[in-house]
A and B are shown apart, each in its own frame.
Chain A
Amino acid sequence: EAQVTQNPRYLITVTGKKLTVTCSQNMNHEYMSWYRQDPGLGLRQIYYSMNVEVTDKGDVPEGYKVSRKEKRNFPLILESPSPNQTSLYFCASSLGGALGQPQHFGDGTRLSIL
């Protein structure tokens, strides 16, 4: 089954404790992206990757890091989480190219930073 898998689904942690949210896709997609969803703001892009070893900032990259060492994986790293990063996070993937490819989303990771 084609899917985007995120882990963990839920996490409560404290300010400053480094954490990683994993994302894996099994569709051989070139493009991967991280979004955060906040009430009244919709989804905002954090980082994206066009392919292995190619990453770039989205609209709200501050406080986050990513890496793309393998095509299927695109982890999101919060090195020193703060309460304003409490949010619902989604990973997405799609085929590369410029043809308006739809993105496939994971089920989300709800992070609470105390």
Chain B
Amino acid sequence: AQSVTQLDSQVPVFEEAPVELRCNYSSSVSVYLFWYVQYPNQGLQLLLKYLSGSTLVKGINGFEAEFNKSQTSFHLRKPSVHISDTAEYFCAATLSGGGNKLTFGTGTQLKVEL
């Protein structure tokens, strides 16, 4: 069965520092991978997605992620965070040919401090 693991439940970081949020997936077939962001009292917004092609994917708000098939990872990175990046981040996956079913990780709370 497909699963998505986010090992870090909370990541504190100072403003303007770089950050990496980790995501690993387990699947025996090809997957599509997504990162979503959830700001307080809001729904989820798509940050970026990987379907195929280049393994480095750029998203909104300066975020990027790298698909690594050998390590089954899809870590999210930002070179310099801002206070406004404080939010919860979810990694999700769907199987190629499996339609639209999304499997989510448990989320990582990013807290940016001054």
Q: Which residues of A contact B (CB under 8 A)?
A: 4, 31, 33, 35, 40-45, 48, 50, 58, 90, 92, 94, 96-108
Contacts of B43 in A (CB 8 A): 4, 90, 105-108
Contacts of B71 in A (CB 8 A): none
Q: Number of B residues contacting the other chain (C-beta, 8 Å)?
A: 27
Contacts A4-B43, A100-B94, A102-B49; A42 near B100 (Cβ below 8 A): no
Contacts A4-B43, A90-B44; A45 near B96 (Cβ below 8 A): no
Q: Is B17 on the interface with A (CB-CB < 8 A)?
A: no
Contacts of A4 in B (CB 8 A): 43
The listed residue (B6, B34, B96) touching A102 by CB distance below 8 A is B34
Contacts of B96 in A (CB 8 A): 98, 100
Pairs A–B under 8 Å by Cβ, sample size 26: A40-B9, A41-B106, A42-B6, A42-B90, A42-B104, A42-B105, A42-B107, A43-B90, A44-B104, A45-B101, A45-B102, A48-B100, A92-B44, A96-B99, A97-B99, A98-B96, A98-B98, A100-B34, A100-B49, A100-B96, A102-B34, A102-B49, A103-B46, A105-B43, A105-B44, A107-B41
Contacts of A102 in B (CB 8 A): 34, 46, 49
Which residue of the partner chain B has the closest CB to A105?
Answer: B43
Q: Is the pair B97, A48 in contact by a Cβ cutoff of 8 Å?
A: no
The listed residue with most B CB atoms (<10 A of its CB), out of A35, A41, A103, A107, is A103
